[in-house]
A and B are shown apart, each in its own frame.
Chain A
Amino acid sequence: MAKKDKQQGHLEQNGGSRLFNIVNYTVFVLITLACIFPFYYLFINTISDNELVRLGRIQLFPQGIHFENYVQVMKIPGILDALFVSVARTVLGTLWTVGGCAFLGYLCTKQEMWLRKVWYRLIIVTMYFSAGLIPWYMNLRMLGFLDNFWVYVIPGLVSPYNVILVKTFIEALPGSLEESATLDGAGYGRVFISIIMPLITPILATLCIFSAVGQWNSFTDTMMLMPSGKYYTLQFLLYKYQNEASSLAALVRNTQDSSSLANVATKQTALSVRMTVAMVVTLPILCVYPFFQRYFVKGIMIGAVKG
């Protein structure tokens, strides 16, 4: 790759190419800016003087920096619970899904299983159809999953796509390691934990990241499956706040310190609360993303090989 780059750069220093380079770089800088700017814009608006924000004065640079918004948002009743639910579902859901799919993928590679192909196909076929919203909803309702925290976790046990990925990955491993362990008398569970698991960590890491992002970002399930307002997640609160301007204002007033203390610059407005909650929801992703970006990329590559 590097060799090619060097040659290209060497060969083509004519005017047209230079112009092309300038235009190309400019376009990509613009696109990248378009992707970053909203995050930045939201951030400067949450740390700036709330009065200026309300008037729309904060456009490119923060003014009157303060962090009162974050402190106040943490005091909104229910927001810490929501944070807890979000974290719990992300951690538990990810472990459950990835663990389940990894073991299932391993089992699916076992030729000697009774009717293996039938079961495998039964699992994979579910990728291509869905019963639809109402049957899905009624089914979860029938199984007692409404207003139940475990609805975030348990139904995700089998994800056919992940199973395919793990199965393909394991099939590409040399089989000799496993054989020797089996000869030593280790059962399937032990072989999976002590031999297969360490070998498939790359793909497990990728699945973990995708599953965690999915769990963290999901809010429609809360919207539909928690009719009596239990186990709200942060994402759902964010969605709710966007739609409930009036009640939000009341909420803010309740959490406000006594009027004599509050000064206009740090006083909460519906807008500031919304933006701050949004920022709180984004932060974990922003923090995690740069470190795990390569796993994201790896994930889609694996998918691409399959496709």
Chain B
Amino acid sequence: MKKKWPVLIVLLVAIVSLFLPALGLHVHAQLGEETAALFPQTLSLWEIITKGTGALPTDSVPALSLVHFGGWMTLAGLVLMALSAVLTLPEKKGFPQLAFAASLLSIGCLGGGVAQLMNLQTSLLYTVLFTVKAWAYIPLVAAFVMALITGLALRHAKALIADDKVLRRLSALVALVALLVMLLPAYVIQVPSTLTDNPKDAEAISRSVNLYQLLPGTEPNLYNEGQAKGVYTGILTGDILALEPYSADGTNISGIFLIRSSNAAMQTGLLAGMSFLALSLVLALIPRVDRWFAVVAGGLSVILIIASCFGLLFVGDADMYAASSRQLLHLGLGTVTPIPFLAGILALFSVVLGTLGIARANEPYFVNPIPQGLRIRFVAAALILLSLACILLPAGTVSYSKPGKSKVQATAEIRGLDALTFSTDAKLADPVDSKGKAVYDEDDAEYSRAAVNAATAGTSRTLELLTWGALLLTLVALVLLVTKKSPKAIILLLLLALALRLVTWLTISRGFPKAVIVGSGSLYLYASLPLLVFSAFFTNFAHLEELPKKYKLFLMMLPFLVAVFLFSYLPLYGWSYAFYNYKFGIPMDQQEFVGFRWFTEMFTNAANRDNIVRVLKNTFGMSGLNLLTSWMPMIFAVFLNEITRTRFKKFVQIFTTLPNFISWALVFSFAMCMFAADTGIFSKFMMSIGLNDPNNPTVWLNSNAHIWLKMWGWSTWKGLGWGAIMYLAAIAGIDQELYEAARVDGANRWALMRHITLPSLLPTFFVLLMLSISNILNNGMEQYLVFQNPMNRQTIEVLDLYVYNITIASKGTSLYSYATAIGILKTLVSVTLLFSANFVSKKLRGESIM
């Protein structure tokens, strides 16, 4: 990069834009013209930087002190940008890497500044309305351009000469900075004293909190704090009148006082993330440790920190905190800073540096510190330890109800640790509800307190013994494994422990009187089962150097098999709903079994039968129309092939396949605009040729007329070009000699099409036809869902849509069993159709379509 002047121009543009209007102010009519005169029309970034909130007439309109904008982010961004320019300028050497880094940081800072201004737009303050003018974005755009220029300059720069040692130290340094950055405030609550009569109130609640302060989980919510300090009582107790001028929506205000600024998940994530980051820092500084360890620890910390930051920065309803921070923003009562995010970015930067260090190092690959011969034993031991932990953690939860009442009255946990000390949780024997009242009385006839006590005591005894047994067996197995005893005995012990865990599970889920107490296993109980199986599995190979390949591959495959099981096979368990009168919230073994009633009901109950016949008619009708016209893509391809201009052909192909890639919701938007009864272009066109009465225009969409044809039209519009591609590919594969020979025989163009192209496409056509026949019931629901309305429901409802409409859409759960029964029949018919189509294909063409 010889010429450096573009950098200066960019900087100049950014600086000039500072003095142009950045923020528009519109004063609400309510404030009157006098107040309006006080306000400037616009504010430039320069004014924002130099004066901050002072640029607004806060003296005359006190409410404005609720508005937050500061210019330091913008200022920092500009300084960084200037730095970047200066670093680029020197004629010979320059510092291109640093310049690039500075310009990237300036993007971050300016982006933060713009985000702050944009937040003003969403503010609920209606005394003043803010609009961000285009000029406000110029510095940010300039920063992007600067980054681009300096980034391009990097190509000509000399590579930074830094060996892995330097990079590692840098990585440690950045990690340290990331940890320190977390000391800066993560969120700020500022309640202006003008808000209340008593300035003490506002002072008591205003505070800023950094990430370390969030960790102990002791951050109280504003409500508690206000109560404790005896301030702000009016607002805390729901009197939100004081805030009313600032918000149109009172519920938002009372909400912010119930904010709990940290939640358990976020704390755990942050804590773990910080610990990993610190670990990575330490590891990076010790030269003898394998380099990958530091990077892996850093990587984990990045994931954890970013994940917990999203709880902070994801402005949405991600969790309680995010929701409340959004309210803070809206009300102008405070702000969430980008600090947590910055910490995450810095941690990421540290990882990148560490990885670069590995790339520079002489022996880059992972060197496992555990000796080869001990690895499998090590894994087995780790798994046994994990299963031990699972045995000690909660094994299940028990929920109590009362006969005749479906609502759960109380829940209690069965903990492994309690079981070991033979002390059961008091709540288990004597459940108390959320208000602290005992659920069962002495004088209850069927389930007195004594009866429940006896039932839980008996089961707890069994559970205690089982837990002890499993624990001892696993411990002995661990000791034997460490002392390198023969694997057979260890495996036996582990399998026995597994059996005990299974019995534990059965005891929890079956051991209580079903009518009132329902037990279910906890995640830890379920996790301990595969852990024990796998520890036995690894123990079997403990004496080997390496796991046999076939099992290694299988273990890699296992997560995928689990996913397939969870998301494809496990739903089949839901087919059992079809044989019960399924009621929501009741365990499966207490549902009423009805056998095949739902299946027979489909045909014996007149109303159901009519509906089924109707939706089947629609399904077959619309699928049938598509089936009847399934030759169209083939003809499309044949004729498109006759076009000799390649460019035109490409053009047609690109644009006719485009509709296939937009969603049905969008297709419906098109339909709604073009076929609007009075304004749509289609209606206007029909009016102009006299087929549509302008005073009484035909309603195209909200009507029942020719709905099958209309649906067919839309699916053809969407699918025609796309369907043709496969045929075009097939045409490209036709032997050219066939054409030559035919032409020599005097065949004209028409004859070539008819006798060569078309017959060559028929096999493809046949396969696709067979596939669409087997899919005749699965015509999806998206298209019909978006086009359905009360006028056309009767004729547009296909099977899938019907099932959706009677269950999830209607928010009722009473028909879940019936809908499942329909689903089962549909799947069975579809599979049968598929196999028949396959059979036909095999018979006719000797080829399978599956």
Query: Is the beta-carbon distance between B819 and A134 smaller than 8 angstroms?
Result: yes
Instruction: Assess the B129–A258 pair: CB atoms within 8 A.
Output: yes
In the complex, chain B residues whose CB is within 8 Å of the CB of A133: 800, 803-804, 807-808, 819, 823
Q: Which residue of B lies closest to A290 (CB)?
A: B654
Encoded as 1 (CB less than 8 Å from any A CB) or 0, chain B from 627 to 657 comes to 0000000001001101110101001111111
B19 within 8 A of A: no
A128 to chain B, nearest CB (A): 6
Q: Please name all residues of chain A whose beta carbon is closer than 8 Å to the beta carbon of B572 when the two chains form the complex.
A: 131, 135
Partner of B663, one of A116, A235, A271, A307: A235
Chain A 6-22 interface 0/1 with B at a Cβ cutoff of 8 Å (1 = within): 01110110000100110
- With known contacts A123-B564, A282-B662, A132–B827 Cβ distance under 8 A: yes
- A4 and B564 form a contact (CB under 8 A): no
Q: Are A9 and B644 in contact (CB under 8 A)?
A: yes
A114 and B550 in contact, given A20-B749, A35-B656, A218-B663 (Cβ under 8 angstroms): yes
Q: Which of B28, B569, B643, B800 contacts A25, CB < 8 Å?
A: B643
- In the assembled complex, which residues on chain A have CB atoms less than 8 Å from the CB atom of B554? 113-115, 119
CB distance from B308 to the nearest CB of A (A): 15
For A274, what are the chain B residues with a Cβ–Cβ distance below 8 Å? 669, 672
Query: In the bound complex, what is the Cα–Cα distance between A81 and B834 (angstroms)?
Result: 42
Nearest Cβ in chain A — how far from B676, in angstroms? 7
Digitize A137-150: 1 where CB-to-B-CB distance is under 8 Å, 0 elsewhere.
11100010000000
C-alpha spacing A133/B767, complex, angstroms: 28
- Residue A239, interface by CB 8 Å: yes
A5-60 residues at the B interface, CB under 8 angstroms:
5, 7-9, 11-12, 17, 20-21, 24-25, 27-28, 31-32, 34-36, 38-39, 41-42, 45, 53-56, 59-60
B673 touches A42 (CB 8 A): yes
Nearest CB on B from A255, distance (A): 10
Q: Does A304 contact B (CB under 8 A)?
A: yes
Number of interchain pairs (Cβ within 8 Å):
284
Q: Is the CB of A213 within 8 A of B679?
A: no
Provide the residues of chain A in CB contact with B730, threshold 8 Å.
Answer: 304
Q: Which residues on B sit within 8 Å (CB–CB) of A307?
A: 764, 767-768, 771, 849
Does A204 interact with chain B (Cβ within 8 Å)? no
Given contacts A239-B786, A278-B666, are A257 and B673 in contact (CB under 8 A)?
no
Residues of chain B lying within 8 A (CB to CB) of residue A235: 663, 665-666
Q: Is B743 an interface residue (CB 8 A)?
A: yes
A95 at the interface (CB under 8 A from B): no
Residue B122 is within 8 A (CB to CB) of chain A in the complex = yes
Specify which chain B residues have a CB less than 8 angstroms from the CB of A42 in the assembled complex: 669-670, 673
Q: B827: which A residues are within 8 A, CB to CB?
A: 129-132
Contact, CB under 8 Å: A134 / B807: yes
CB of B627, distance to nearest CB on chain A (Å): 17
User: Beta-carbon contacts of A288-307 to B below 8 Å, as 1s and 0s?
Assistant: 01100100110011011001
Closest A residue by C-beta to B808: A224
Q: Is the CB of B849 within 8 A of A112?
A: no
Is A77 within 8 A of B122, CB to CB? Answer: yes
| B243 in contact (CB, < 8 A) | no
How distant is the Cα of A123 from the Cα of B679 in the complex, in angstroms?
51
> What residues of B have a CB within 8 angstroms of the CB of A60 in the complex?
681
Nearest CB in chain A: distance from B540 CB, A: 13
A residues less than 8 Å from B820 (CB atoms): 132, 134-135
Chain B contacts of A300 at CB under 8 A? 722, 725-726, 729
Contact, CB under 8 Å: B717 / A34: yes
Tell which of B131, B549, B573 touches A257, judged by Cβ atoms closer than 8 Å: B131
Asked if residues B678 and A56 are in contact (CB atoms below 8 Å), the reply is: yes
Q: Which A residues are in CB contact (< 8 Å) with B732? A: 1
Chain A residue with Cβ nearest B748: A12
A183 in contact (CB, < 8 A)? no
Q: Which one of B262-270, B387-395, B526-534, B555-563 contacts A?
A: B555-563
The complex places the Cα of A278 from the Cα of B667 at a distance, in Å, of 9
Minimal beta-carbon separation of A89 from chain B (angstroms): 13
- A271 CA / B820 CA spacing, docked (Å): 39
Residues of chain A within 8 A of B568, CB atoms compared: 126, 131, 158
A161 at the interface (CB under 8 A from B): no
Q: Is B839 an interface residue (CB 8 A)?
A: no
Instruction: Please report the C-alpha to C-alpha distance between residue A138 and residue B574 in the assembled complex, in whole angstroms.
Output: 7
In the complex, what distance in Å separates the CA atom of A16 from the CA atom of B585? 73
Q: For residues 800 through 850 of chain B, which have their beta carbon under 8 Å from a beta carbon of chain A?
A: 800, 803-804, 807-808, 816, 819-820, 822-824, 826-827, 830-831, 834, 849-850
A155: interface (CB < 8 Å): yes
| Chain A residues whose C-beta falls within 8 Å of the C-beta of B121 in the assembled complex | 75
B residues within 8 A CB of A103? 556
Residue among A116, A135, A257, A285 with most chain B CB within 10 A? A135
Q: Of B317, B653, B666, B849, which is within 8 A of A281 by CB? A: B666
CB proximity to B under 8 Å, residues A177-222: 188-189, 213, 216-220
For A239, the chain B residues whose CB sits under 8 A away are: 665, 668, 786
Residue of A nearest to B554 (CB): A114
CB distance from B736 to the nearest CB of A (A): 6
When A12-B748, A32-B652 are in contact, do A81 and B315 touch as well, CB less than 8 Å?
yes
Query: Is B785 positioned at the interface, with any CB of A under 8 Å from its CB?
Result: yes
The reply to whether A293 and B574 form a contact with Cβ atoms under 8 Å apart is no
Closest CB in chain A relative to B197 CB, distance in Å: 30
Residues of B within 8 A of A55 (CB): 679
* Chain B residues whose C-beta falls within 8 Å of the C-beta of A219 in the assembled complex: 663, 665, 782
Q: Please give the distance in Å from A234's CB to the nearest CB on chain B.
A: 10
A39 to B725, CA, bound (A): 22
CB of B674 within 8 A of chain A?
Answer: yes
CB distance from A239 to the nearest CB of B (A): 4
Q: Contacts A20-B749, A110-B553 hold; do A135 and B662 have CB atoms under 8 A apart?
A: no
Partner of B551, one of A75, A114, A290: A114
8 examples of A-B residue contacts, CB within 8 angstroms: A17-B749, A100-B560, A126-B564, A128-B834, A135-B573, A219-B782, A304-B726, A304-B729
Known: A56-B676, A100-B560, A107-B557. 19 other contacts (CB 8 A): A7-B743, A17-B748, A32-B651, A56-B679, A122-B561, A123-B564, A131-B823, A133-B823, A134-B807, A136-B574, A213-B661, A230-B316, A230-B317, A231-B316, A235-B663, A239-B668, A289-B654, A304-B726, A304-B764
4 tightest Cβ-Cβ pairs between the two chains A and B: A132-B823, A135-B574, A56-B679, A131-B571
